[in-house]
A and B are shown apart, each in its own frame.
Chain A
Amino acid sequence: MKNIFKFLFLVGILFTSCEDAYNVAPDDEILEANAITSVADLEKAALGVYGFISGSNLINYSSRFTDDLRLPADNRGQGVQVHTWNITAGNGTTTSLWSSLYNVISRANRVLNVIDGISANTPEEELSKSRIKAECIGLRAMCHFDLLRAFAESYEDSNSVLGVPNINSVVVFEQPSRNTVAENYAFINSDIEMAMGMLDASFTDNTRLTTTALSALKARVALYQGQYETAISSATDVIGAVALATTTEYVDIWTDASDAEVIFKLKRTTGDGAVGTIFQDTNGDIFFFMSDSMLNHVFDNSTGANDPRFGTMLDLPNSSFEEPVVGKYLGTDANPGLNDIKIFRGSELYLIRAEAYARSGQFEMAAADMTTLRAARGAAETTSYSSEEIALFDIIEIERRLELGYEGHRYFDMRRQGLTISRSETDCEAAAGACSLPSDDFKWIMPIPQAELFANENMTQNTGY
């Protein structure tokens, strides 16, 4: 009898379920259910959205693809595929451009998905909530626009041109097809309007999206879209709010010592990716030199000693005519190549407005903006235009290339203008025969990534790939 009790007792021990073995608490994990439950969490999530923005990949592609850089003979493969237009649907650079932009969009959408359910306890929190919502919507617009610029068949505001999928909610298993470019513009502009309506003008942190930054984005979109009146009015809003940098301030912008005319920049600190490594490795190995074509452009078109751009485009102490080193992103001694990434600067708005004026026949207004901008860079002469062609050549091919060099614009400007890349003999010496790319070549449009086509039955590839 005693044994039976002993037996039953032990059977009891044996089958006592030890639930804590398989029901484990997520100690150092943040699960979705408890990730965002307060406005403070929303603030963290908003920072997270910014943290996903690469910023440098457009600068990378634009610089390496076009005629702004020269491949040295001892480059060991870094960026060679893009530079020599050896681009297929499997290309890593274009794939990561696509995926990182949609990464930001998906993170923004996940915040937007929960934000209305988070209650604000104070007026300050209410204000924060509304700001965060505006930032997420604004960033969503900015990323969609970058996707459009890179992957759309053209920039024509038309329903017969394929753009990119508009993603305005959390998707996982969905297989979205491409929207038209007109639908993209409509979606982007509506997001911008929505964001502007929610964002308080008192928020002026230029490492975040502000009303000024949204206006700048609106102007940039309108220029691509061909909505020149909007471009002019939005650019005017920004120009009214942001003064151009002085020549001394201008130099300091590139060491991040000055925020003059910097409307929106991505803050970069130790541990973040160094944008300067597009051009040279942190150990000093040069991946790309400034191209001879760009070097000549800088010499011919800047105002010489007075022009601060001379010394920022080039790393003068370490450059020679044979080996000109790009100087815009030199970082610090401790962190070579690590600089904030400027998304919008005041000068771009002058260039946008000038171009919009020129395209709508207002040459004097266009020339006036150019004169203002050039004066700020140390020039004494005034600019004047006699025709749209002359004006656009001067604004886009001369001044934008110089003023916005290595800031991620050249590739898009050439696409907008239908320009041909023709590298000089010296520039294409080591470029495996990649010397000329006609404006009608299919490689001007980035391929939809192979990984996307693989996973998404409704996706269509751009022509040629």
Chain B
Amino acid sequence: MKTKFSVVLTLLLVFAVQISFAQQKTVSGTVTEDSGLPLPGATILNQGTSKGVTTDFDGKYSISVSEGATLVISYVGMESQSISIGTSSIYNVTLIKDVSTLDEVILVGYGSTSKAKVTGSISTISSETIGQVPIGSFDQILQGQAPGVQVFSGSGQPGAPARVRIRGNGSINGSSAPIYIVDGIQITAGDFASLNANDFETVSVLKDAASTASYGSRGANGVILISTKKGNYNQKTAFTYKTQYGITEVGNAPFAMMSSREILEFQRTVNSGAGAGLSDEEITELATTNTNWKDVFFRTGITQSHEVEISGGDDDSRFFSSLSYFDQDGIAERSNLQRFTIRTNYENKVNSKTKFGINTSLGFSKSNFISSENAIALQNPFAAAYLAQPYQSLYDDEGNIQTGPGFTGGNSYEELIKNGNNNQQVKIIAQGFFETELMKNIVFRTDLGIDYSQDNFIDFSGPNTYYGGIVTPGGEGDYGESNNYNSRLTATTKLGYSNVFNEKHSVDVSLFSEYYKQNFRSSGFRGYGINPLLNGYANGTTAGTPENELIPTIFGGKTVRGLFAAFAIANYDYDSKYGFSASLRRDASSKFSDKNQWGTFYSVAGRWNISNEEFMSDVSFVNNLKLRASYGTSGNQASVADFAAETRYGQISYGGVNGIGVASIGNPDLKWETSVQSNIGLDFDLFDYKLSGTLEFYDNKTIDLFIDYSLSLTSGFSSLQSNAGSMRNSGVELDLNYTVINTENFSLDLYGNFNYNKNEILDLGQVSEFESGTSIIREGLSLGSHYVVGWAGVNPANGEPLYYDLDGNVTNVFSDGNATANWGSSNPEYTGGYGLRGTLGNFDFSTLFTFADEYYRFNNQSFFQENANFSQFNLSTVMNTMWTQPGDVTEVQSYLFPRQFSSKDIEDASFTKWRNLTVGYTLPSKFASKTNFFQSFRVYAQVQNLKTWTNFTGFDPEDDNNIAGYEYPMPTIYTVGLNIKF
């Protein structure tokens, strides 16, 4: 009501005040949003001068200008407006939201451009989406945020990285992981535990050759470009405090294990294990103990974070600083992540032609891990939770943990709480640049940066623990430590020319050189014979002698590798209607032999901004329509071993004396794996910007695949890394945003992104197929196709397992030769995310769902817990349905027949996950301002991983590999948070 009144009043004033003439006069007014709310903090700049003011909390401003001057009124996220000062002294301005995003700045390889001028395929993720999510590793936050970006998290260990794939797996034996560039510096993929994602301003995902070709030999699997927050020029220094507090909990665990009575009776049936030969009374007696091992191993953890951001700027400089602390417990005992980060970004304009900047981040993290994570090993608590016997209790009568052979649960629990496995990491990312206009239209820029990380891994077992007691040599525990030092140096130099001819032809051409070098050094040791008083420390180890045989081992290594590149990027635009881009790059890698050292990569791309054509001016429902296409190549050299071209010798010891022996045969013909990529995309904004989106089609063909060429074993080697064959990833991506309603009190946006990716192996060179673990790599199939014998059920007459032979006939003979590939792939074909976000009064809310379909996984766990041979461990309740007498119709064979891997173990792991739900409340600014203490105040609550819908029977259908083997599942995280801006 009050707002309406003020609008009316303002209108009256506009009409009433027509007088006053003066050369220099004071102009005032109110700046409002299109919803009518006053807009505090908007900038009013007298164009052509450095004079400017900002609006107060009621959106009011007052500035002294001369008549005829132009005022530019701007605010982040709004379209700027210019007003000419006439005779009036009151100018009220309504800024409209910049929904067109026409001026949105998009990070592209080695620069940035406006969204309208982008020719390649790039998805952008804003800081609002990635900030404030209580997840320790940044890549996991990308889940469901952009089409064609598959993020599969393999571990719920706080800070654990995810498997990220852009448009499918581009390589069979090489790496398919994208590269990460922070402020121009390549950083280690999958190493984000010591980085604070809240420092990130925007993230661009470069997906096609046009956008990645400028990264040459590193870009084939896509590039994730990150720009950190920089502060703003002419902004009063602002302090922001952010905090979050909450809990982590084990999510749904859909499997059911047997009770004490069930397993003991089962053991009696199969005559193996503790229950063998027991009477009913004895079983009843033993079954009085019924330990729920899930409760023993899992806990409710605490998660919390505190962060202070300071940013600001004056006419010539701007800065952003942050200090953060993050602490998260895992849902398994012992596992956690603690992290400190400090960032300072500073940029200075020396004069109108020259500027420089420094971006630095220092992170320190400390992680404690569970033992044997993701391993099918009894130390792994996620295996022990399944396999420990419920008729055993954790503690004996004296309160000691029961350990020893056969005490699966006690041994594993003791390992968790008494032994250790941790890492401390220091990570420094520092980058500086210098840019100057050498002469008109010519810019010189140089960037220099380093990503340095240092890891200190420690694991130990005490002499008085079960697992410490079986360490060899000695049986008295061990202590191991390894240290890694990893530095990556990137130096890029650019000479750019840009000009506009006849106001319509805009041209820019840049020449670059880039120098990249990685130095990696590691060293470590493992000592034995631990003094129980010094368990967990290096000086608790025994000095080794030939007599006590407790000789410590020492290991280490050093790796240097590098790239040098020279490349050019050119862009041409005609009247914002047509655009053309091209790039050409020559790259030299230290990994290949002299003759294959240099590779050449290129791209061409074009766009047509249809909506800017005259004939579109009448089509009112189209705000923006752009068609673009690109074609080009990019290379892959990651995962090629250093000096793979050379035959290398290694240290081979005999009788404790070092010798040498050939360790690997070199292939001097090894060269880049090349991805040939085509992309067609349509960007659109329709119905007054209500419906926006992108539709893209792509076809990526990887040629010269890294394939292991099989050698006759008589050569002393089994294979040689070589280039052969080809593989295709083709697909569709759709990104949509629909604004249902956008009013003062209620706004609602629906969004979604979707990817269909079809992978096909086209050619494998020497052979047409080869087996790879439990999957088959075969021409015509997709990568990750499971390869097992078909399961045909259990013969009700005798409990015998039945299988399918190659002709589809049912047989009782199990033969590896009958394996088929009819069981789907571990790489999903359909992935994406969708959700909604909006505001209701001062409340805001958002939610996200992600999904994967046509996704099959090998459940290796069921081989253990649905297997009568493993009855010395606990079994799944499924085993209660085991065949026992003729006529039983069941899927569980009699224990008299061996259990084989079959299609029974392949499960449909397709899932939909309710990934995030956030509800927030922002104190109205007029209340906030009244406190005279803070500018804004927001409180919110959120939940991560609320629920999973799947048919998969393990803990978590989502994983970063094809086989489920007692992984650390993703936790459910509940937090409440507070953002205060002072």
Contact = CB atoms under 8 A, between A and B. Distances in A.
Interface stretch (A300-308, A317-325, A454-462): A454-462
A35 interface: yes
Interface string B496-525: 000000000000000111011100000000
B925 to A, nearest CB: 49
A334 B549 contact: yes
A103 B712 contact: no
B646 A32 contact: yes
B753 to A, nearest CB: 38
Nearest to A45: B660
B442 A24 contact: no
Contact of A23 (B590, B642, B655): B590
Interface string B607-648: 000000000000000000000000000000000001100111
A18 B564 contact: yes
Contacts of B472: 274, 282, 334-336
B652 A283 contact: no
B550 A22 contact: no
A92 interface: no
A21 B590 contact: yes
A41 interface: yes
B438 interface: yes
A105 B647 CA distance: 17
B665 interface: yes
Between A28, A30, A284, the greatest number of chain B beta carbons within 10 A of the residue's beta carbon is seen for A30
B142 interface: no
A432 B712 CA distance: 34
Interface stretch (A9-17, A189-197, A401-409): A9-17
A52 B712 contact: no
A271 interface: yes
A416 interface: no
A449 B713 contact: yes
Contact of A172 (B516, B588, B711): B711
Between B553, B563, B649, the greatest number of chain A beta carbons within 10 A of the residue's beta carbon is seen for B649
A422 interface: no
A11 B495 contact: yes
Given A22-B564, A35-B660, A270 B473 contact: yes
Contacts of A26: 642-643, 646
B111 interface: no
A44 B655 contact: no
Given A32-B666, A175-B712, A41 B563 contact: no
A124 interface: no
Interface residues of A, number: 85
A270 B552 CA distance: 9
A456 B515 CA distance: 43
Nearest to A458: B712
Contacts of A172: 665, 711, 715, 717, 720
Contacts of B872: 74
A90 B817 CA distance: 11
A103 B716 contact: yes
Contacts of B290: none
B438 A107 contact: no
A107 B716 contact: yes
Interface string A192-229: 00000000000000010000000000000000000000
A103 B661 CA distance: 10
A3 B549 contact: no
A188 B714 CA distance: 16
A88 interface: yes
A46 B658 CA distance: 10
A7 interface: yes
A405 to B, nearest CB: 25
Interface string B322-338: 00000000000000000
Contacts of A25: 560
Given A47-B654, A271-B553, A31 B716 contact: no
A438 interface: no
B439 A3 contact: yes
A267 B713 CA distance: 26
A207 B559 CA distance: 35
Contact of B549 (A47, A74, A167, A335): A335
Between A14, A21, A176, the greatest number of chain B beta carbons within 10 A of the residue's beta carbon is seen for A21
B597 A22 contact: yes
Interface in A84-142: 88, 90, 95, 98-99, 102-103, 105-107, 110
A451 B659 contact: no
Interface string B691-708: 000000000000000000
Contacts of A333: 474-475
A194 B767 CA distance: 41
Interface in B531-579: 548-551, 553, 557-564, 566
B473 A335 contact: yes
Interface string A221-249: 00000000000000000000000000000
Nearest to B544: A270
Given A106-B662, A107-B662, A35 B649 contact: yes
B269 interface: no
A455 B442 contact: no
B444 interface: yes
Interface in B345-388: none
Contacts of B438: 3, 6-7, 10
Nearest to A77: B869
B898 A44 contact: no
B656 interface: yes
A37 to B, nearest CB: 12
A352 to B, nearest CB: 27
Interface in B829-848: none
Interface string B455-492: 00000000000000010111100000000000000000
B35 interface: no
Nearest to B542: A334
B557 A28 contact: yes
Nearest to A3: B439
A418 interface: no
A154 to B, nearest CB: 21
B513 A106 contact: no
A51 B715 contact: no
A284 B566 CA distance: 61
Contacts of B405: 283-285
A50 to B, nearest CB: 4
Given A10-B438, A459-B712, A20 B660 contact: no
Given A110-B662, A334-B475, A454-B710, A21 B715 contact: no
A80 to B, nearest CB: 10
A51 B515 contact: no
A292 to B, nearest CB: 20
Contacts of A175: 712
A361 interface: no
Contacts of B658: 44, 47
A299 interface: no
A176 B662 CA distance: 21
A60 to B, nearest CB: 19
Given A7-B442, A10-B444, A30-B660, A165 B714 contact: yes
A49 B662 CA distance: 9
B662 A31 contact: no
Contact of B713 (A27, A99, A336, A432): A99
B562 A20 contact: yes
A171 interface: yes
B563 A22 contact: yes
A44 B660 contact: yes
A102 B715 contact: yes
Nearest to A98: B713
Closest 5 CB pairs between A and B? A106-B716, A47-B659, A267-B655, A48-B661, A21-B562
Given A14-B495, A23-B590, 5 more contacts: A22-B589, A24-B590, A30-B650, A50-B659, A283-B470
17 contacts: A14-B494, A21-B515, A21-B516, A21-B562, A21-B590, A26-B643, A31-B647, A31-B648, A32-B648, A105-B716, A172-B665, A172-B717, A274-B472, A332-B549, A334-B549, A335-B549, A456-B712
